[in-house]
Amino acid sequence: MSEDFAPNRTPLEERLVDLIRLKGPITVADYMADALGHPNDGYYMSRTPFGAKGDFTTAPEISQIFGELIGLWLLENWRALGSPADFNLVEFGPGRGVLMEDILRATRLRSEFSKAACLWLLETSGRLRVEQQKRLRASGIKPLWADEFADIPPAPTLIVANEFFDCLPVRQFQRIERGWRERMVDIGDNGGLAFCLGKTPPPADYKLPSDDDSEPGDIFEINFAARDFLSDVVAGLLTHGGAALIIDYGHAASGLGDTLQAVREHRFWPALSTPGQADLTAHVDFGALADIAVDAGAAVYGPTAQGRFLDRLGLALRTEMLCKGKSDEDQKKIRDGSERIAAPNKMGEIFKVMCITSPDLPAPPGFFDL
């Protein structure tokens, strides 16, 4: 319907075209899951996406202060948990391991924390697991890797997830005159992938916006994968105690809009073009995730803007400390990095931070003014 591409196909596109010929159109979520996570040709399996030579850059890749402040945040929450002698320190989607490297350096201030932490990394990509292992070797804590959250043994748990939930596959629904239809991926007239609409209405319990709250052409997204994943995480936090810090770009309340977005070499890219060779994300619906946590009995803080969260944790002070004794050029780099991750017109506003805790924990730092 809306996007068609010449049949100069990537290996993954070939497979998807064969699959669609055989079985019919697939959901946007199935497309996204394969484009990112196909064991051979998925984006995270076959490419190193980070940095100037890659496709995008994340906050920890820009400034070490991001991970250091989160490390201090984790120390506070560990203390609030009663300083357990054994706990799980978990990162979802650790990328090149840069965030965890900075966290481990900052938390070394309290050797009891480092001794008590069992480090778990939830990562699908074999390539990135190798990078994580190399980078974290010097930290003195040996990581363990998990494919699923359920693989992590029960214990009090502190979790960090930066730009992880936006990778989870989203389903899309489009309003037409007669109600809602699921947006699917089919083969277009020129043999490339193209969007189409499912023929039957989605189940009523999907709770899509009413006719009064939407109009033909509107798109509504539901991330069942993120919801199911978070339900398991919250169940774990409620049983064993702990906190999860979720940082991502997204919206505070569920709403209409097509947020499926591909990025290649730091530029926006058509979502159905070159699957497996471009990053593909969807905005995180923080409102839907918060509802799941609150309904289950957990405490939820935020979402708050990333810039405000970092300011409250002491970004300005840490920036000045790090600048001490450095050359003018290095000082500029440090200050520019802090500005990039926190300024409202850069990453500070669009990126949001939400924390979910077991209900017995006090409000975590970063979610209130001192």
Phi-psi bin for 126: left (phi > 0), alpha (psi -120 to 50), beta? alpha
Q: Which stretch binds ligand SAM (CB under 6 A): 68-76, 90-98, 109-117, 262-270?
A: 90-98
Return the half-sphere exposure (C-beta side, CA atoms, 13 A cut-off) of residue 67: 21
Using CB under 6 A as the binding rule, whether residue 67 contacts ligand SAM is answered as no
- Please pick, from the candidates 10, 114, 124, 261, the single residue that binds ligand SAM as defined by CB under 6 A: 124
Count, residues near ligand SAM per rule CB under 6 A: 20
Name the residue nearer to ligand SAM (CB basis): 20 or 70: 70
State in angstroms the smallest separation of the CB of 60 from ligand SAM: 5
DSSP category for residue 214: -
- Helix-helix angle 11-23:28-37, to 10 degrees: 150
Strands 193-197 and 179-187: antiparallel
**Rounded to an integer, what is the distance from CA 368 to the centroid of its chain?**
23
Give counts: helices (H), strands (E), the chain.
Answer: 13, 16
**Residue 108 C-alpha from the chain's centroid:** 26
261 touching ligand SAM, by CB under 6 A? no
Kindly state the smallest distance separating residue 344's Cβ from ligand SAM, in Å.
20
Options 99, 158, 272, 347; binder of ligand SAM; rule CB under 6 A:
99
Binding of residue 125 to ligand SAM (CB under 6 A): yes
How far is the C-alpha of 221 from the C-alpha of 173, rounded, in Å? 6
Q: Is 114 in the site for ligand SAM (CB under 6 A)?
A: no
Stretch that binds ligand SAM, among 159-167, 173-181, 255-263, 316-324 (CB under 6 A): 159-167
- The CB-nearest residue to ligand SAM is 93
Q: Could you give the CA distance from residue 314 to residue 319 in angstroms, rounded to a whole number?
A: 9
Report if residue 94 touches ligand SAM, rule: CB under 6 A.
yes
- Is 44 a binding residue for ligand SAM by CB under 6 A? The answer is yes
Query: Taking CB under 6 A as the rule, does residue 123 contact ligand SAM?
Result: yes
Judged by beta carbon, residue 60 or residue 366, the one nearer ligand SAM is: 60
Is 306 near ligand SAM (CB under 6 A)? no
d(CA 124, CA 281): 16
Residue 60 in the binding site for ligand SAM (CB under 6 A): yes
> Does 259 participate in binding ligand SAM (rule CB under 6 A)?
no
- For the bound state, the minimum distance from the C-beta of residue 125 to ligand SAM, rounded and expressed in Å, comes to 4
Q: Which residue has the tokens 């996204």?
A: 32
The token duo for 163 is 């730009």
| Least distance CB 58 / ligand SAM (angstroms) | 3
Residues 160-179 that bind ligand SAM (CB under 6 A): 162-164, 167
Whole-angstrom distance, CA of residue 89 vs CA of residue 111 = 14
Catalogue the long-range contacts made by 106-113 (C-beta closer than 8 Å, 24 or more residues apart). Answer: 106/67, 106/68, 106/69, 106/70, 106/71, 106/72, 106/75, 107/71, 107/72, 107/74, 107/75, 108/140, 109/75, 110/75, 112/83, 113/74, 113/75, 113/78, 113/83
Nearer to ligand SAM, 29 or 322 (CB): 29
Question: What residues line the site for ligand SAM (CB under 6 A)?
Answer: 36-37, 44, 58, 60-61, 93-95, 98-99, 122-125, 128, 162-164, 167
